[in-house]
Amino acid sequence: MKKVLVTGGLGFIGSHTVVNLIEEKYDVVIIDNLFNSKLEVLDRIEQITGVRPKFYQFDVQNISKLDEVFKNEKPDVIIHFAGYKAVGESCKKPLMYYKNNLESSFALIEMMEKYNCKNIVFSSSATVYGIPKKVPLTEEDPVQSSTSPYGETKVMIERILEDESKVHPEFNICLLRYFNPIGAHKSGLLGEDPNGIPNNLLPYINKVAVGKLDCVHVFGNDYPTVDGTGVRDYIHVCDLAKGHVLSLNKLKENPGLCIYNLGTGKGTSVLEIIKLYEEATGVKIPYVIDPRRDGDVAINYASNEKAKKELGFNCDFDVKQACLDGYNYQVAEEKRTKK
């Protein structure tokens, strides 16, 4: 299993995973339509690893171009990141999310059948658990309809892959359910820098830290949690990337269908994050308390025991390090764009 086709490989999690794959001597081919990423990331991957992975710029839904890539590259395994991922936007544009995220997955599965590519890792999400009845969440907890069309696409694609696994026992399918990916590569060359006002907490804090936004708006402090603010499982994106590379080892054992949570196993509240961020960076992060955000749950964090046991997964970085790495990336990005 040498050649890995990474869809969305220039995105936040995709690019960090590509760096790990190259470091583990995999032969990486990327497909990305640059909808939510930049071609410059390819230069940065080369700068970090000394290797420039082969890159195809098109939308995964383009079945004729996808067929060409499978015919010419003959990938052994697919890591499928490509997809729209903004929860709030998906509530405003459901059809765009269902079409894009499902059609791209259908195209890949058709190619798997046509070219006998038996291995796929799918970028799923904790959101498939819906509103958790208990925490920490384990892989045995029921998949429930999600609170957004974005989350529903993850539920549906998981189900499609599970059904594919029943008719293709030779397929090895790994569903990775991420919790809250944060941080950036230690080089400051890769990270998350969403356009416009960030929806997620850490990119928002990063912009406050570099003075691009004035203060953090904490969405509610009346939840039944340690300090009333939302609790989540924040995992360093480099630990998440490592989890993907470990899942490839699992696929080599021909496991059929396997499912893993990728989280730290610990919950951190919004106010605790702000405090850790200030301690890590020395930057004061002003905030105000706003009303709750629709669709938010109070607490959501993972049990990662199954990934630890079956993948040999563990977290090398804590939340504080992720805050510092994310901040350093933001500072570096500001300098680069100011040039």
Please list the active-site residues: 150
- Contacts of ligand WQD in 115-144 (CB under 6 A): 125, 127
In the list 44, 118, 207, 232, the residue contacting ligand WQD (rule: CB under 6 A) is 232
In the list 157, 173, 201, 324, the residue contacting ligand WQD (rule: CB under 6 A) is 201
- Contacts of ligand WQD in 79-98 (CB under 6 A): 85, 87
User: Is position 200 an interface residue for ligand WQD (rule: CB under 6 A)?
Assistant: yes
Q: Are 138 and 306 in contact, with CB atoms under 8 Å apart?
A: yes
Closer residue to ligand WQD, CB minimum distance, 22 or 324? 324
Q: Could you tell me which stretch among 20-28, 109-117, 132-140, 197-205 binds ligand WQD (CB under 6 A)? A: 197-205
User: Is position 219 an interface residue for ligand WQD (rule: CB under 6 A)?
Assistant: yes
Closer residue to ligand WQD, CB minimum distance, 125 or 303? 125
Alpha-carbon span 299 to 269, nearest angstrom: 9
Q: Could you tell me which stretch among 196-204, 207-215, 256-264, 326-334 binds ligand WQD (CB under 6 A)? A: 196-204
Closer residue to ligand WQD, CB minimum distance, 194 or 256? 194
- Contacts of ligand WQD in 314-333 (CB under 6 A): none
Write a three-state SS string for the chain.
CCEEEEECCCCHHHHHHHHHHHHCCCEEEEECCCCCCCCHHHHHHHHHHCCCCEEECCCCCCHHHHHHHHHHHCCCEEEECCCCCCHHHHHHCHHHHHHHHHHHHHHHHHHHHHCCCCEEEEEEEHHHHCCCCCCCECCCCCCCCCCCHHHHHHHHHHHHHHHHHHHCCCCEEEEEEECEEECCCCCCCCCCCCCCCCCCHHHHHHHHHCCCCCCEEEECCCCCCCCCCCEECEEEHHHHHHHHHHHHHHHCCCCCEEEEEECCCCCEEHHHHHHHHHHHHCCCCCEEEECCCCCCCCEECECCHHHHHHHCCCCCCCHHHHHHHHHHHHHHHHHHHHC
User: Is position 271 an interface residue for ligand WQD (rule: CB under 6 A)?
Assistant: no
Instruction: Give the per-residue contact string, 277-296, with ligand WQD (x = CB under 6 A; - = no).
Output: ----------------x--x
| Minimal CB distance residue for ligand WQD | 230
User: Is position 44 an interface residue for ligand WQD (rule: CB under 6 A)?
Assistant: no
User: Is position 36 an interface residue for ligand WQD (rule: CB under 6 A)?
Assistant: no
Q: Could you tell me which stretch among 11-19, 35-43, 195-203, 304-312 binds ligand WQD (CB under 6 A)? A: 195-203
Give the footprint of ligand WQD on this chain (CB under 6 A).
85, 87, 125, 127, 178, 180, 199-201, 204, 217-219, 230, 232, 270, 293, 296
